[in-house]
Every structure is written in structure tokens, then in C-alpha cells.
């Protein structure tokens, strides 16, 4: 089986103002990191499809979809909030970002690949059912998770979020869906100032692990192994999604958890192990944040290495 890498050139045309940390150079940095490493020469690539409005409606209100797409300017920039800007191609980029996750779900369930990484932008985990924000227009991972449940009739899926920020939008959507387990490690206090440990959801399907600034990767790995993985095992999801943000890296200009590449690969390995136990290794990793270009490229490469390695192990 293979590891799939899904992306689309339209993502480079989502252009918030110059100097915005969520910039197209992020994806270029990931490609540059992959290009210099022989290990990725056999990575199976796919160009993301464009999500349909009906796909977005799995996780968003019609009003949110309509008002967001209406905000896309013909020229110049429009503001969704102070941090979230739209340029003329932002709507198309956002539709294709959600589309990448749909492609990943289809590819894993058709047997084409066993795990997938979606290198997308704009990111998604701050987008609620009714509201975007925090650089996010549509919640790519929640759309993909709902699609797996509704179109492929999976009975349960998990979303694990290791971005430095709490995925408030994803939690908001998962809160109403007992078939989604959402777990997040994140720096606290930090934007969006949600994700306290007592936010567990009325179906007890939410697990938040707030971490203090500069707590480091060892603490995070321990939390993943001792708190998140046992809950994942109890939930026994039929697919595992990862909100893969890399802004907890020690070199990141926004986050301050001081993680390094090995922390991301170790946590990805734990999640792949859980995916092996419950769902034939089916894991879909979706890019969220990560704003130091070198750290982002190297950290994505570190995760992809363990995803590819897992496929090789399967064969032996
Ligand atoms: Zn983030």
C-alpha cells in the first residue's frame, strides 16, 4: 500500500496581504523539503478535486457557505475578520482544500492507499458550522470526516488535532456528532482561548489537553500516549483524521510549545499504530498551521517518513 500526497496549485493563489504568516510560501517550503529527499521520490501524488457545495453542507450551514463565497473579491482583498483575508482565488482554493480531504477518504476506502497527507490552504480547524475565522474559511477536516460518515457509512471517526491552537471550529462541529471523537493538544492560554479540559461535550466525545507555553515535546508525547491513545482505543474509530498543524515547533513565530521534528514523527507513529489496531491503518493527515517555513517543511517530511515507513512494514 502507498502513502498519498494530495495538493493543488490553486492553493498558491489564495493570497492574504504581503507579510501574512499564512502564505503560499508555506506550501512551497513543504515541496522544497520533499524535493531534496530521495525517500519521497515514490510518493504517490494526487491533485485535489473541487468540493461541491453539497459536500460543504455536511459540516456547514448554507448561509455560512453563501456568505463566505460572496465575500470573495473580484480584485483586491476582503476581510472575513482581522486575520482572515480573501483574495480573488480564495474561494476556489478553499473549495479545493476541502476537496483534498474528500479525495483522501475515497482513496483510502477504495484501497488505493493506506494513509494520506493533504497539503492544503487555507487551513480549516477554526471554522465553525456557521462562521469562519483564524485564517480558516471552511473546516476541511470536518467536511472530510462527515463525508466518511455519511457517504461511506462509517460508523465512527476520530479527529486528533496537534496544531498549537485549539481547533475550536472542529470541536464545535464534533460537539453535535456523537460519531466523531475530537481530541486536541494545544497551547493554553492562546488564541482562540477555548479547549479547556472541562470542555468534554454532551456526548463525552471531546478530549482537550491544554499545555502551558514552553512545556516541550516530551510532555506532549506523554499526553498523546497516555491520554489520547487510550480514548482512541476505546472509541475504536473506522478512520483517523489528523489536524496536522506545525506551529507548536520551537522555531515557530506564533506558537510556543517548543516541539521538534521528532515529536511530530513520534506522535504520528502513535496515531498510525492506533489506526492499525482499528481501521487497517487508515489515517488522513490534513495541514493546518505552521509558520516557520524551514520547520514546517522538515516537520511535514518527518511525518511523511513514518507514514511511508508504515507501508513498507506492512509488506514484510
Ligand atoms: Zn495553529
DSSP string, the chain: --EEEEE-GGGGG---STT-SS-THHHHHHHHHHHT-GGGTT-EEEEPPPPPHHHHTTTS-HHHHHHHHHT--SSS-EEEETTEEE-TTHHHHHHHHHHHHHHHHHHHHTTS-SEEEE--SS--TT--SS--BTTBSS-HHHHHHHHHHHHS--S-EEEEE-SSS--HHHHHHHTT-TTEEEEEEEESS-TT----TT---TTS-EEEEEE-TT-HHHHHHHHIIIIIHHHHHHH--SSEEEEE--TTBTT-SS--S-B-HHHHHHHHHHHHHHHHHHHTT-EEEEE-----HHHHHHHHHHHHHHHHHHHHHHH-
Cα of 259 to ligand 1 centre, how many Å? 13
Judged against a pLDDT cut of 50, whether residue 48 lies above it is answered with yes
pLDDT at 316: 46
Cα of 312 to ligand 1 centre, how many Å? 31
pLDDT digits (tens, 9 = 90+) for 142-177: 999 999 999 999 999 999 999 999 999 999 999 999
pLDDT at 315: 55
Cα of 274 to ligand 1 centre, how many Å? 24
Cα of 276 to ligand 1 centre, how many Å? 27
Average pLDDT in the chain:
97
Judged against a pLDDT cut of 90, whether residue 60 lies above it is answered with yes
Judged against a pLDDT cut of 80, whether residue 63 lies above it is answered with yes
Q: How many domains does the chain fold into?
A: 1
Name residues with Cβ closer than 5 Å to ligand 1, which is an ion. 163, 165, 245, 247, 289
pLDDT at 163: 98
198 falls in which pLDDT band (50, 70, 90)?
very high
The domain of 32 spans 3-315
Cα of 135 to ligand 1 centre, how many Å? 9
Judged against a pLDDT cut of 90, whether residue 41 lies above it is answered with no
248 falls in which pLDDT band (50, 70, 90)?
very high
Cα of 245 to ligand 1 centre, how many Å? 6
Cα of 208 to ligand 1 centre, how many Å? 15
Cα 259 from Cα 213, distance rounded (Å): 11
Cα of 258 to ligand 1 centre, how many Å? 14
pLDDT at 42: 79
Tell me what percent of the residues of the chain surpass a pLDDT of 70.
99
pLDDT digits (tens, 9 = 90+) for 101-140: 999 999 999 999 999 999 999 999 999 999 999 999 999 9
Output the domain CATH number for residue 229: 3.40.800.20
Give the residue numbers annotated as catalytic, written as ranges. 126
314 falls in which pLDDT band (50, 70, 90)?
low
Amino acid at each position: 500500500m502507498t502513502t498519498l500526497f494530495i495538493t493543488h496549485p490553486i492553493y498558491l493563489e489564495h493570497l492574504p496581504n504581503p507579510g501574512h504568516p499564512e502564505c503560499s510560501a508555506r506550501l512551497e517550503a513543504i515541496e522544497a523539503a520533499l524535493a531534496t529527499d530521495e525517500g519521497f521520490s515514490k510518493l504517490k501524488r494526487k491533485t485535489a478535486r473541487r468540493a461541491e457545495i453539497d459536500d460543504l453542507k455536511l459540516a456547514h450551514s448554507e448561509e455560512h457557505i453563501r456568505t463566505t463565497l460572496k465575500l470573495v473579491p473580484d480584485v483586491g482583498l476582503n476581510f472575513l475578520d482581522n486575520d482572515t483575508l480573501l483574495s480573488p482565488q480564495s474561494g476556489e482554493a478553499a473549495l479545493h482544500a476541502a476537496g483534498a480531504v474528500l479525495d483522501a477518504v475515497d482513496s483510502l476506502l477504495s484501497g488505493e492507499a493506506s494513509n494520506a497527507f493533504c497539503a492544503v490552504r487555507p487551513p480549516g480547524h477554526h471554522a465553525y458550522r456557521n462562521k469562519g475565522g483564524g485564517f480558516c474559511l471552511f473546516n476541511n477536516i470536518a467536511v472530510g470526516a462527515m463525508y466518511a460518515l455519511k457517504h461511506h457509512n462509517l460508523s465512527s471517526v476520530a479527529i486528533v488535532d496537534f496544531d498549537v491552537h485549539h481547533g475550536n471550529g472542529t470541536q464545535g462541529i464534533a460537539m453535535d456528532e456523537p460519531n466523531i471523537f475530537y481530541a486536541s493538544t494545544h497551547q493554553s492560554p492562546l488564541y482562540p482561548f477555548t479547549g479547556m479540559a472541562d470542555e468534554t461535550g454532551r456526548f463525552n466525545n471531546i478530549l482537550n489537553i491544554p499545555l502551558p507555553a514552553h512545556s516541550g515535546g516530551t510532555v506532549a508525547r506523554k499526553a498523546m500516549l497516555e491520554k489520547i491513545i487510550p480514548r482512541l482505543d476505546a472509541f475504536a474509530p473506522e478512520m483517523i483524521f489528523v489536524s496536522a498543524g506545525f506551529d507548536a515547533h520551537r522555531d515557530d513565530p506564533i506558537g510556543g510549545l517548543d516541539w521538534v521534528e521528532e515529536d511530530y514523527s513520534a506522535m504520528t507513529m502513535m496515531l498510525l499504530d492506533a489506526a492499525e489496531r482499528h481501521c487497517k491503518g487508515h489515517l488522513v493527515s490534513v495541514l493546518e498551521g505552521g509558520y516557520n517555513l524551514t520547520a514546517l517543511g522538515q516537520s511535514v517530511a518527518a511525518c511523511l517518513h513514518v507514514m511511508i515507513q508504515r507501508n513498507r512494514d506492512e509488506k514484510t
